Amino acid sequence: MVRQRLSMNPEEYLDSEIETIRPDGLRALQEQKLAKQLDYLFARSPFYQDKLRAAGLRREHLRTLADLARVPLTTKEELRDSQHASPPLGRHACAEMVDVIRIQSSTGTTGRPSLVGLTRRDAEGWTRVTARSFYTQGVRPADIVMHGASLTLFAGGLPVKDAIERIGATFVPVGTGASEKLVLIAQALHANVLHSTPSYAIYLADYVRRESKMDPRDLGIRKIVCGAEPGGGIPAVRAKIQEAWGARVTEGMGNADMLPVIFSECRHQSGMHYNAHEYVYCEILDPESGQVLPIEPGVSGELIYSSLDRECVPLLRFRTRDRVTVLGTSCECGRTGFKLRCLGRTDDMLIVLGVNIFPSAVRDVVSSFRPRTTGEVQILLEAPGPGVKPPLRIVAEFGDGAGPSSELQAEIENRIKDVLTVSSAVQLVPPGTLPRFEMKGQLVKKLYES
């Protein structure tokens, strides 16, 4: 009873009604939203008019959330082609340019960025959910947030500024490549929150020790909110960041085409809550069969998003290529949004003799040997993936004072075999050998010409 009363503390939530909504209430709300969004798409999206007609689907075929399973998936490549065929925003854009108040971009792997437009209503939705997500992670009005990430075009930039300001916290746009400035300003302001990638949080701790000759803990950062790559939720990586900073690490996850932060973790650190109830509908697909899987603990697959309230670029069944595992459907915090963890991008996934391996999982195993390792790791690929001929070649740094022992090497290889069920060849190198990245970590090194 006490726990229930505590969890209903109104200060726990930014939008308590939505965040604690019951499943049938959520379904009713989302079906009502979906109906409106579908009316809009059938009337205004040349891209979906064609796509749905080709699939033999008319408006009356799509009445419930479950009916969405009949809609063909939308890929990033289709959006890119659509934008190329009909610049500037593509055949999937449904708003007039005069109604677009901002352009963001989603960087692809191919270099040419794709543009994402927002109407005033879209921007309000982004701010609302992103603010909810940062509030879930414990950001409060009295906090001073150092933004150690890019601001320009990047979905984790200006929309995060809007969200932090909506909460009423103080937003400090330091950006990237400015570690010295970040440390000085954080000290001057007594900043207590850092928003960055997990790679940067690790890099910055090293920087503070090396250049500022300080223990990062003395800087006073007590909350680190991570995003843009998996890592903040990987137990060994999280432990490393928390230990270095004396801070609580939580993570968030979103998508540049859909909404900047759709999932975020509460202070119980048990997976990221679904936070975009009235804006983005989620499905999880079995990667082999393409079937929709029930959202329940232990289920793992590719995350698929559908817009429920978007004016400029509403998307149906958009493939994220994010591979996720559902961790729970309830929480001590009282939020009812299901919780998940992201294992990595399906594009990053390697397949060793039929076994799916995410580079982040390899890092997790190597990190579990700290302090005998530093936790830094790189996978060497001799030929383009995802198929890799065993053994998986891994370079790992031994820890300060540990030395490169053949026992350690064998122990790591054995644990990789136990945990990930693949054989590996581990090469140990001195601490500091592998490159540290300010932005996203690069866990795979290609030894071939691409």
* Residues of this chain that bind Zn ion (CB under 5 A): 266, 268, 331, 333, 335
The CA–CA distances, whole Å, from 423 to 177, 333, 362, 430 equal 38, 41, 12, 23
Q: At what angle do helices 198-211 and 235-245 cross, to 10 degrees?
A: 30
CB 251 to Zn ion: min, Å: 13
Shortest distance, CB of residue 331 to Zn ion, whole angstroms?
Answer: 3
Between residues 12 and 302, which has the closer beta carbon with respect to Zn ion?
12
- CB nearer to Zn ion: pick between 25 and 328: 328
CA distance 258 to 352: 32
Tell me the two tokens of residue 87: 């610049």
- Comparing CB distances to Zn ion, the nearer of 161 and 268 is 268
Buried b (16+ CB within 10 A) or exposed e, 56-67: ebeeeebeebee
> Considering the complex, what minimum distance in angstroms separates the CB of residue 370 from Zn ion?
27
Interatomic CA distance for residues 306 and 292, integer angstroms? 13
- In the complex with Zn ion, which residue's Cβ is closer, 271 or 344? 271
Q: How far apart are CA 340 and CA 156, in angstroms?
A: 20
- Closest CB to Zn ion among residues 324, 394: 324
Q: Please state, in angstroms and as integers, the Cα–Cα distance from residue 249 to each residue in 158, 167, 333, following that order.
A: 22, 19, 17
3-state SS class at 253: strand
| Token pair belonging to 360 | 């982040």
Q: Which residue, 20 or 212, has its beta carbon nearer to Zn ion? A: 20
- Please name which of 44, 16, 19, 23 lies closest in space to residue 307, comparing C-alpha atoms: 44
* Shortest spacing between CB 56 and Zn ion, in angstroms: 42
Comparing C-alpha atoms, which of 362, 363, 320 is closest to residue 342? 320
CB of 266 to Zn ion, least distance (A): 3
Query: Rounded to whole angstroms, what are the CA distances from 339 to 247, 299, 333?
Result: 22, 11, 12
Q: Which is nearer to Zn ion, 37 or 250 (CB)?
A: 250
Nearest distance in Å: CB 30, Zn ion = 21
CB of 439 to Zn ion, least distance (A): 29
**Least distance CB 337 / Zn ion (angstroms):** 8
Q: Is 290 left (phi over 0), alpha (psi -120 to 50) or beta?
A: left
Q: Which is nearer to Zn ion, 266 or 324 (CB)?
A: 266
Residues 6+ apart with CB under 8 A from 276: 129, 259, 262
For 372: left if phi > 0, alpha if psi spans -120 to 50, otherwise beta; the answer is: alpha
